[in-house]
Amino acid sequence: MKEKLNAIRQAALKQIENAKDLDALNDIRVSVLGKKGELTQVLKSMKDVAAEERPVIGQMVNDTRSAIEALLEKERTILTRKLREEKMKKEVIDVTLPGKKKMTGHRHPNQIALEDLERVFIGMGYEVVEGPEVEYDKYNFELLNIPANHPAKDEQDTFYITKDILLRTQTSPVQARIMETGRMPIRIISPGRVFRSDEVDATHSPSFHQVEGLVVDKGITFADLKGTINQWAKEFFGPDTRTKFRPHHFPFTEPSAEVDVTCFKCGGKGCRMCKGSGWIEILGCGMVHPKVLKDCGIDPEVYSGFAFGIGLERVALLKYEIDDMRLLYENDKRFLDQF
Ligand code: DAH
């Protein structure tokens, strides 16, 4: 028994001295002092030792245990310190290096223009609603008085998912969706992305944004439309802005108009911005066609309304005097950082 204890002690101490890292130390601790460790096994076999020898052997086991534990602890301290020193050596901090700048993003010019625009209409009591970009032909065309063979469908060629489902060419289908709900009165704007099968150039893109407006109530007249657009134009482009309503045709409004604003660059005298005319076209509008009201479940004898559609990129470009729409989509930081 004594020899065995001695052997365990010598072997363990040697192993501990040679241990390279903390894991190795732990393995030794388990294999010697653990539940199934060598020394523990010896303790268990004490019952075979003659009674008078037991105190002596017991004392020896305790001594062996203390010696092993002491050396384990000593080595552990040494190894821990060594590890720390190596880590510190690797993690030298050069306080003379320049700091890393935090870059904060900001709103896109389109978004800034949209929020400016929304603020004005919300101030007039409008609600902002959204409609789907993937839309039924029924809402995009049919209910807006643009039947299957209408020439307007040529001008607004788009991307078809099926014969009846397409990428919306305008935000106007939201008009039909809102009217259909039957909730009165209606006073909404609806911004969103629209799609057309157009080639990219300075003023065209296959995907751009519009803001639709719709008001339906009893006794709404063209005067309300004019007052609303005038008020928005002044708040959005500046207090001296004047508007001009030119007769036009849209299938879903009657009468219809296109609206120009006085060029905010030259004030109406004529410049490069307004191509010499003093006026800049910004939107289409009109009184909601009685057939559209009826098809959407509203009695045109009781209710009337007006609608308008603003090209968001168009007003954003004008507001910031940008002459090429492509700049809004190219994500060139040198451009975007200016806003
Ligand atoms: N949706 C039309 C377009 O994309 C714009 C428009 C014109 C909207 C007149 C309207 C409106 O609501 O009344 O060309």
Q: Strand pairing of 134-136 and 207-217?
A: unpaired
* Residue 252 Cα to ligand 1 middle (Å): 8
Report pLDDT for 93.
86
Which atom, in ligand 1's list, is nearest to the CA of 175? 12
* Whole-angstrom distance, CA of residue 280 vs CA of residue 242: 11
The Cα 28–Cα 17 span in angstroms is: 11
pLDDT, tens digit, 9 for 90 and up, residues 95-111 = 899 988 898 889 999 99
Q: Return the SS3 of 131.
A: coil
Q: Which residue has a Cα nearest atom 7 of ligand 1? A: 284
pLDDT at 234 (0 to 100): 95
pLDDT, residue 43, reads 80
Q: Ligand 1: distance of its center to the CA of 256 in Å?
A: 9
Whole-number Å distance, alpha carbon 305 to ligand 1 midpoint, is: 14
CA of 172 to the centre of ligand 1 (A): 6
Q: Please give the share of the chain, as a percent, with pLDDT higher than 70.
A: 100
Residues of the chain scoring pLDDT < 70: none
257, with CB counted inside 10 A (0-12, 13-18, 19+), is buried
Pocket test for ligand 1, best of 172, 214, 222, 308 (most atoms within 8 A of CB): 172
State the average pLDDT for the chain: 92
pLDDT at 13: 87
pLDDT of residue 180: 97
Closest residue by CA, ligand 1 atom 12: 308
Name all residues whose Cβ lies below 6 A of ligand 1: 170, 172, 212, 250, 253, 284-286, 307-309
Per-residue model confidence as pLDDT tens digits over 249-281: 999 999 999 999 998 778 889 988 788 999 989
The correct answer on CATH 3.30.930.10 for the domain covering 109-336 is yes
Domains in the chain: boundaries: 2-90, 109-336
Task: Specify the pLDDT at position 236.
Answer: 94
| The amino acid at 121 | F
For residue 44, the model assigns a pLDDT of 83
